[in-house]
Amino acid sequence: MNKTELRDTLKNSHRTFIEYIRGMTIDEFEFSHQTKWSAGQQLKHIVLCIYPVVQVFGMPNTLIKNKFGLTETNSLSYEKILTDYLEQLNIGGKAPSPYVPGVISENEKEELLNTLSKLIDQLNVEIERFTEKELDTLCIPHPLLKKISLREMLYNVIYHVKHHQNQTKNNLNYK
């Protein structure tokens, strides 16, 4: 995906998630089957995960390069990043503790939805300042995928929200 496609897909995938969560009843938003996260927890997790990505994308390029380095290979495709991410989950990969949400109540819903929307808008603004080459060469750390390019991180962010929307739907099947 080029920069324009990345920005559009990022916005659309998160808009779909936001609309899905916004349309939930209180019971749906707070429902959790056994140890599965509620929709509110899924939402909070997405916010917690996107925040550091926005921070890195907001750094000067030289700081990103000095702090995280440059890639040694070409960026992987969206499909390959998705496969690698799912492989890490299948071998037991879990969200590190800073990204694990506590109990989330309905009264937090709108604030979290608004925060997520603002973060995605901010990330889309930050993406625009990078060249296509910089998206492929500057690195960013990922807890499961390790050191990946900025483009690969955006691929993961796009898939990640879809993954958690599907988990939310699956959880509600137990309701």
pLDDT, average across residues 56-80: 96
Angle at the Cα of 49 from the Cα atoms of 34 and 67, rounded to 5 degrees: 145
- Segment 7-19, tens digit of pLDDT: 999 999 999 999 9
> Where do the domains of the chain lie, and which CATH numbers do they carry?
3-172 (1.20.120.450)
pLDDT-derived band at 6 (thresholds 50, 70, 90) equals: very high
DSSP run (H or E) holding 10:
helix 3-22
Q: Which H or E run includes 141?
A: strand 139-142
The arithmetic mean of pLDDT across residues 53-62, rounded, is: 98
pTM greater than the 0.85 cutoff: yes
Task: Please state whether 43 falls in left (phi above 0), alpha (psi between -120 and 50) or beta.
Answer: alpha
Distance in angstroms (rounded) separating the CA atoms of residues 12 and 29: 21
- The rounded percent of the chain whose pLDDT value lies above 90 is 97
| pLDDT surpassing 80 at residue 175 | no
